[in-house]
Structure 1
Amino acid sequence: MEQLIIQEELSGKRLDLVVSLLFPELTRAHAQKLIKEGAVSVNEKPRKPAYAVTAGELLAVELPEPEVLEVLPEDIPLDILYEDSDVILVNKPKGMVVHPAAGHASGTLVNALLYHCRDSLSGINGILRPGIVHRIDKDTTGVIIACKNDRAHQCIAAQLKEHSITRRYLALAQGVIREDEGTVDAPLGRDPENRKKMKSGLPGGKHAVTHFRVLERFSAASYLSCSLETGRTHQILALCA
């Protein structure tokens, strides 16, 4: 059971919208379904999806258990940049999902790693994400580190948490950015108008920080080098949209 206090910026908004904003993994339709099933309460009382929340109210959400998927090894070619007995670094292509989820039960990087590494992957993240310490978006190309044992997994995870590993991305951003460099520090959440996208500056969004440097300017776009301080879902895509 997840419990949160409604903040002032969400006061007056519909309950189903608030739930979807505070829990980005839930679509608005899914939030409505949970509310109707009694899995959501406000001040310990069930409410309707259209209920207007008020600042200071206690929101409680019973999140559903994740769907159990069978993850099978698949003979999918991998662009391996480095590999030893502890880790494997793979250049993930655009269009490949990192780990299985609803709608993507096969063809993922995890399926490919299970075939390539056999039984030598860390078990810390369970059956759906063996060896996976971090992830990048489906349509993003970049380096993924997968760990072959729990000790390596713990060490790499600690380095990511301490920011001793630098993550940089090259991106095209819409518009011409005048500043040569800067920092975007804005809460990130699911775009209420397009559930497939994330959006910066949303009330109730998660803390997200991206440092950028302009490499080149074009007539209607800017070529950026982006360094992540946090690792939110679609963080770079939301920054560049």
Structure 2
Amino acid sequence: MRFSFDVHRPGKVKSLLKEHDISKGLLAKIKFKGGAIYVNGHERNAIYMVDIGDTITVDIPDELPYEKLEPIEVPLSVVAEDDHFLVLNKPSGVASIPSVNHSNTMANFVKGYFMKKQYPNLQVHIVTRLDRDTSGLMLFAKHGYAHARLDKQLQQKAIEKRYYALVSGDDELPSKGEIIAPIARDEDSIITRRVHKSGKYAHTSYQVVASYGKVHLVDIQLHTGRTHQIRVHFAHQGFPLLGDDLYGGRMDLGITRQALHCHTLSFFDPFKKERVVHELGLTNDFGNVIMSLEK
């Protein structure tokens, strides 16, 4: 894959490429695995001196797949795709990555998709993950350089994800709010989390979209990305998510997975040089619960 950059100040090639998120590791890959660097059409190395008005072009070699990741072909719900990014609508009940307990995962499905399409880059780069029982938008990079550029945005909290959740509680839930409470591991579990002063800073914003008695549809934005953050924060407020038996959610309203759905994903596309926004509506199981409550 080829990328070109105009030079706006004198310096070494590697210094200018670093400004475009091409790391030392990627430079080594270019040098030793079949890539190349050109300045004004002539092949050069990473320490070559460039001047204003020059053009640096890099050929990044194709990526071989991770052999341990089994490709599995299943139909995918593709929301958007170009040469650099793939946005999928993940169903609930599917884990993002393989583990001891999960082998049929989004990573396996995406590898199968890449191989079926005969894409040159076959490594799977997950940019944003979702819990197994959370549905909605997931973002994948289609090559390592695209992943590196979005990793920088993740560190700067420049990738925005918004979620819908159905929560229930006996008290009154304010129409909007900020939940700022540290999240730590439970003392007796490697899975569950809790609000505790020993935990890491966690910040969640929400707004109530609609209310159905004790059940509320809320629109949520994460400002940090702690494990189970939304589930833990709302359970701590006395409003656990419907279907979330791990944190005390109601299981009697027709939804048996945590009622959490990533409906909006927004990031700056460094290749198009514009901010892109992808959106989804409510899932059928959310809609069925709401219809039942409205009756």
2:140 to 138, 146, 162: 146
**1:112 alignment partner in structure 2:** 109
The verdict on how the C-alpha distance between 1:121 and 1:212 changes in structure 2, with shifts beyond 3 A counting, is farther
CA contact (8 A) 1:76 1:107 kept: no
Q: Secondary structure at the match of 1:133?
A: strand
Q: What runs of 5+ residues in structure 1 fail to find an aligned partner?
A: 1-68, 124-129
CA contact (8 A) 2:121 2:143 kept: yes
Q: 1: distance between equivalents of 2:135 and 2:219?
A: 14
**Deviation of the 1:232 alpha carbon:** 1.3
Structure 1 residues 199-235: Cα deviation after superposition (integer angstroms, max 9, x where no partner)? 2x22322221111111122322221100010111111
Q: Which amino acid aligns with 2:205?
A: H
Q: 1: distance between equivalents of 2:216 and 2:120?
A: 42
Larger-Rg structure: 2
CA contact (8 A) 2:72 2:108 kept: yes
**Deviation of the 1:171 alpha carbon:** 0.4
Q: Secondary structure at the match of 1:90?
A: strand
**2:100 alignment partner in structure 1:** 102
CA contact (8 A) 1:121 1:147 kept: no
Q: 1: distance between equivalents of 2:76 and 2:121?
A: 16
Higher relative contact order (CA 8 A, sep 6+): 1
**Deviation of the 1:177 alpha carbon:** 4.1
State the percentage of identical aligned residues.
Answer: 30
Q: 1: distance between equivalents of 2:127 and 2:121?
A: 11
Q: Over aligned residues, Cα RMSD in angstroms?
A: 2.2
**1:173 alignment partner in structure 2:** 167
Q: What runs of 5+ residues in structure 2 fail to find an aligned partner?
A: 1-66, 235-239, 241-295
The verdict on how the C-alpha distance between 1:72 and 1:122 changes in structure 2, with shifts beyond 3 A counting, is closer
The verdict on how the C-alpha distance between 1:100 and 1:121 changes in structure 2, with shifts beyond 3 A counting, is farther
Q: 2: distance between equivalents of 1:72 and 1:122?
A: 12
Q: Which amino acid aligns with 2:91?
A: P
Asked if 1:89 corresponds to 2:83, the answer is no
Q: Secondary structure at the match of 2:98?
A: coil
Q: 2: distance between equivalents of 1:141 and 1:234?
A: 14
Q: Secondary structure at the match of 1:182?
A: strand
The verdict on how the C-alpha distance between 1:177 and 1:168 changes in structure 2, with shifts beyond 3 A counting, is farther
Q: 2: distance between equivalents of 1:110 and 1:135?
A: 10
Q: Which amino acid aligns with 1:92?
A: K
**Deviation of the 1:184 alpha carbon:** 0.8
Q: 2: distance between equivalents of 1:177 and 1:224?
A: 13
Higher relative strand content: 2
TM-score, normalised on structure 1? Answer: 0.63
**1:235 alignment partner in structure 2:** 229
Q: 1: distance between equivalents of 2:107 and 2:220?
A: 26
Q: 2: distance between equivalents of 1:181 and 1:206?
A: 23
**Deviation of the 1:120 alpha carbon:** 5.0
CA contact (8 A) 2:111 2:122 kept: no
The verdict on how the C-alpha distance between 1:116 and 1:102 changes in structure 2, with shifts beyond 3 A counting, is same
Q: Which amino acid aligns with 1:111?
A: N
Q: Which amino acid aligns with 1:96?
A: V
Alignment of 1:1-241 (within 5 A): 70-104=68-102, 106-118=103-115, 120=120, 130-175=124-169, 176-192=171-187, 195-199=190-194, 201-240=195-234, 241=240
Q: Secondary structure at the match of 1:154?
A: helix
Q: 2: distance between equivalents of 1:177 and 1:214?
A: 11
**Deviation of the 1:239 alpha carbon:** 2.4
